[in-house]
């Protein structure tokens, strides 16, 4: 049996629905239709009344989840695309994120964001929103890169008492596969050293982990040994694992599919510069998406986002500094 | 003010002959309780204004003067187990729902002993885990939040519960309000949404806020029941809100209540409201709901002059004593605040790391 990243998300939801009566799912076209990507396929049939179609009202969808969470439920909101979550931004950042701080009442909800670019997605079906949400105190932001993490981290997201922004990458939905789902997971908020190395560290997350791994493989042909760190959760961020890696390699490249301004890559570099300046043998570098809206045509899109090839180029430049 | 007659289902004022919309079922007991709460709200807010003027309250002070009758009429009809999400001018409704003079003063004065512990202030207070939601400033947001609370109760099989929330006519222009109303209608939730049409959203008059003849017509657009109340008439507000809450409780779905009235103060105490025309203040809309209610209760023989006088004395004493006590309470200490608690989130109720 082989399980895709998307199926792992479906199975995680099936499991929390089965095990926790507080869980329900709310989103557009997720009921009988099973969702735009089929992340809730057959769940409405299996759990009648608990997988509910929502009107096209992202603000109210999140507001509803907040009210239900306050009453002790564990709602999962599916945004059809991460891009549309900006229509619910106010409820997420001003109500869900502030509620526990202001009132002492927890707000345990999960907002699932089908994130990131795919060929032909274009400006409004391709965005990476993690930095935007990580900016606001009170939110957890998860960015799983593997089938196993997609499964265990979604279980974890539902168990947490804080609002969680769950950034699942659409590009990984179908082609990323695992033979079985794990019984155990890394601790919450812990980064993973996906590939150990000694010459340079690449910090990445979500789909960029796979571009970084391919680039590391490429550079191994030249005799370089590249370490790849998968952040898994961008907030909280596992600064300790990053610093420990940089202490081994002395060189840092951060890769993010998001735009550079105020992004996760900027945050990682700030932390390493502030807390680990002496560990660095070269200026820390970042590779982000180009600073334009995400383009439609696959030829433009393939250049807009970091790829194994552009990561490898950045690494070669870093190794020469 | 409304510009024309409403096509939606309301009881004709003319048919009743007294300008009222309700059916005349308000009891002496509920009228007395409501009036007493309005009085508490009025006297408490006068104290808040004085504390603001003397520099004891930082930030804004937002009063509900002139809106107490409508506000109390929702709060008094809700009960424990219901959900209440008040807005900016709902001191009376808050007190009726169970908020206290003490916690109001603590929140306004930033006492560390208040429910918000200095982390939020003034009207942004509540105890969400007890069904008393703490509004955010972004108007319309609480409609869907109340919907969520009601859906949670539906999941748990709790019946006979109601959610109530309030908004001004300006807030009805937000997308959030529209989304929330539509969601409530789609889910047929037992929610009562009260629109206090006080003619000005801060300084913006209604002809720059909406173009429909009557906000009540929006009920038909959402496919829900709409009702009108006379906003400065306590008995009418109690009747109409009583009917609306009862209908929601009985499973008749969302209820929109629209009432015209006039805010008798500025948007906040920093605002002299010079934009409100004198003619409007002198019109029937500008009559003070507290005076009108006192007059009617006296005429009905439901209260005596000496009772009113002793109520006022007792409330003034309570407010003064409570303010004195709260002014001596500790402010939040930045040195004791856990500033990292929200930088590293990810708590679990079953774990030890819950705050």
CB nearest B145 (choices: A67, A102, A159): A67
Is residue B16 within 8 A of residue B74, CB to CB? The reply is no
Which residues of B are less than 8 Å from A73 in CB distance?
148, 151-152, 155
Distance CA(B57)–CA(B65), nearest Å, equals 18
Q: Would B1 be classed as within a structural domain?
A: no
DSSP 8-state code for residue A275: H
Distance CA(B307)–CA(B284), nearest Å, equals 27
Q: Would B350 be classed as within a structural domain?
A: no
Is residue A255 within 8 A of residue A229, CB to CB? The reply is no
Instruction: Supply A178's token pair.
Output: 């695992």
Give the mean pLDDT of chain B.
92
Give the CATH number for residue B224: 3.40.50.970
Predicted ipTM beyond 0.90: yes
pLDDT at A27: 98
CB nearest A99 (choices: B128, B186, B349): B128
Q: Is the peptide bond before A236 cis (omega within 30 degrees of 0)?
A: yes
Let me know how long chain B is. Answer: 355
Q: Would B138 be classed as within a structural domain?
A: yes
> Could you report the per-residue pLDDT of A39-90, keeping only the tens digit for each?
999 999 999 999 999 999 999 999 999 999 999 999 999 999 999 999 999 9
Q: What are phi and psi of B144, to 5 degrees?
A: -70, -30
Enter the pTM of the model.
Answer: 0.95
Domains of chain A with CATH codes: 3-178 (3.40.50.970), 192-320 (3.40.50.920)
Q: Would B149 be classed as within a structural domain?
A: yes
- In angstroms, the separation between the Cα of residue A228 and the nearest Cα of chain B is 24
The CA distances from residue A99 to A140, B132, B276, B338, B343, in Å, are: 14, 13, 36, 16, 15
The percentage of residues in chain A with a pLDDT greater than 70, rounded to a whole number, is 100
Q: Would B339 be classed as within a structural domain?
A: no
Q: Would B344 be classed as within a structural domain?
A: no
Q: Which of A36-40, A137-141, B3-7, B22-26 has the lowest mean pLDDT?
A: B3-7
Burial class (CB in 10 A: 0-12, 13-18, 19+), A122: middle
The CA distances from residue A96 to A109, A133, A163, A254, B125, in Å, are: 8, 11, 6, 30, 15
Strands A140-142 and A164-169: parallel
pLDDT at B176: 98
Distance CA(B131)–CA(B85), nearest Å, equals 8
| Most B CBs within 10 Å, among A62, A73, A102, to test the B interface | A102
Q: Would B5 be classed as within a structural domain?
A: no
pLDDT at A144: 98
Structural domain that includes position B197: 14-327
Q: Would B3 be classed as within a structural domain?
A: no
Torsion of CA B178, B182, B183, B184, to 10 degrees: 100
List, as ranges, residues 141-180 from B with C-beta within 8 Å of A.
141-153, 155, 175-176, 179-180
- Interval A137-164 mean pLDDT: 97
- Interface contact A94-B176, CB threshold 8 A: no
Distance CA(A295)–CA(A130), nearest Å, equals 19
Number of domains in chain B: 1
CB nearest A137 (choices: B155, B176, B343): B343
- In angstroms, the separation between the Cα of residue B109 and the nearest Cα of chain A is 16
């Amino acid at each position: 049996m082989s399980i895709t990243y998307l199926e792992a998300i479906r199975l995680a939801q099936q499991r929390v629905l089965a095990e926790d009566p507080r869980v329900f799912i709310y989103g557009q076209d997720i009921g009988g239709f099973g969702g735009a990507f089929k992340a809730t396929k057959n769940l409405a049939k299996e759990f009648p009344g608990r997988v509910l179609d929502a009107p096209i009202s992202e603000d109210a969808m999140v507001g509803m989840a907040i009210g239900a969470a306050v009453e002790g439920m564990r709602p999962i909101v599916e945004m059809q695309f991460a891009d549309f979550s900006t229509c619910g931004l106010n409820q997420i950042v001003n109500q869900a994120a502030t509620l526990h701080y202001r009132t002492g009442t927890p707000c345990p909800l999960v907002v699932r964001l089908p994130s990131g670019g795919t060929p032909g997605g274009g400006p409004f079906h391709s965005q990476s929103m993690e930095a935007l949400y990580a900016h606001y105190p009170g939110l957890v932001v998860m960015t799983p890169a593997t089938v196993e993490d997609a499964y265990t981290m979604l279980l974890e997201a539902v168990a947490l008492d804080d609002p969680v922004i769950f950034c699942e990458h659409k590009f990984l939905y179908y082609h990323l596969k695992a033979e079985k789902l794990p019984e155990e997971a890394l601790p919450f908020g812990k980064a993973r050293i996906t590939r150990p190395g000694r010459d340079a560290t690449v910090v990445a997350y979500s789909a960029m982990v796979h571009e970084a791994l391919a680039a590391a493989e490429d550079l191994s042909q030249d005799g370089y040994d590249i370490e790849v760190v998968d952040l898994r959760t961008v907030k909280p961020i596992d600064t300790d694992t990053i610093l420990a890696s940089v202490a081994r390699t002395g060189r840092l490249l951060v890769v993010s599919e998001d735009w550079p301004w105020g992004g996760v890559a900027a945050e990682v570099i700030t932390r390493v510069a502030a807390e680990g300046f002496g560990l660095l043998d070269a200026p820390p570098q970042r590779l982000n998406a180009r600073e334009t809206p995400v383009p439609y045509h696959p030829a433009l899109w393939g250049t807009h986002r970091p790829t194994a090839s552009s990561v490898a180029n950045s690494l070669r430049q870093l190794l020469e500094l | 003010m409304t510009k024309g007659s409403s096509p939606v289902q309301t009881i004709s004022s003319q048919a009743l002959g007294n300008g009222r919309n309700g059916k005349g079922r308000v009891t002496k007991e509920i009228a007395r309780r409501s009036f007493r709460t309005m009085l508490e709200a009025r006297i408490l807010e006068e104290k808040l204004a004085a504390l603001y003027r003397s520099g004891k309250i930082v930030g804004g002070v937002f009063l509900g003067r002139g809106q107490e009758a409508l506000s109390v009429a929702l709060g008094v009809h809700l009960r424990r187990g219901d959900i209440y999400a008040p807005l900016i001018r709902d001191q009376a409704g808050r007190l009726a729902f169970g908020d206290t003079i003490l916690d109001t003063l603590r929140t306004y004065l930033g006492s560390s002993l208040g429910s918000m512990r200095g982390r939020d202030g003034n009207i942004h207070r509540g105890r969400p885990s007890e069904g008393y939601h703490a509004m955010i400033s972004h108007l319309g947001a609480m409609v869907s939040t109340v919907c969520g609370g009601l859906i949670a109760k539906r999941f748990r099989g709790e019946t006979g519960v109601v959610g109530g929330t309030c908004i001004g006519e300006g807030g009805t222009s937000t997308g959030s309000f529209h989304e929330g109303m539509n969601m409530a209608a789609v889910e047929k939730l037992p929610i009562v949404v009260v629109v206090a049409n006080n003619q000005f959203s801060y300084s913006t008059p209604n002809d720059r806020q909406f173009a429909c003849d009557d906000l009540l017509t929006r009920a038909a657009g959402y496919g829900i029941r709409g009702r009108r109340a006379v906003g400065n008439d306590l008995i009418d507000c109690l009747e109409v809100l009583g009917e609306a809450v009862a209908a929601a409780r009985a499973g008749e779905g969302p209820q929109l209540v629209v009432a015209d009235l006039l805010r008798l103060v500025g948007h906040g105490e920093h605002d002299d409201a010079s934009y409100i025309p004198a003619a409007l203040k002198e019109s029937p809309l500008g009559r003070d709901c507290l005076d009108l209610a006192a007059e009617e209760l006296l005429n009905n023989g439901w209260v005596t002059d000496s009772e009113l006088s002793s109520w006022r004395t007792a409330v003034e004493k309570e407010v003064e004593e409570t303010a004195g006590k709260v002014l001596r309470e500790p402010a939040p200490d930045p040195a004791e605040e856990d500033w990292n608690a929200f930088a590293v989130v990810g708590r679990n109720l079953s774990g030890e790391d819950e705050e």
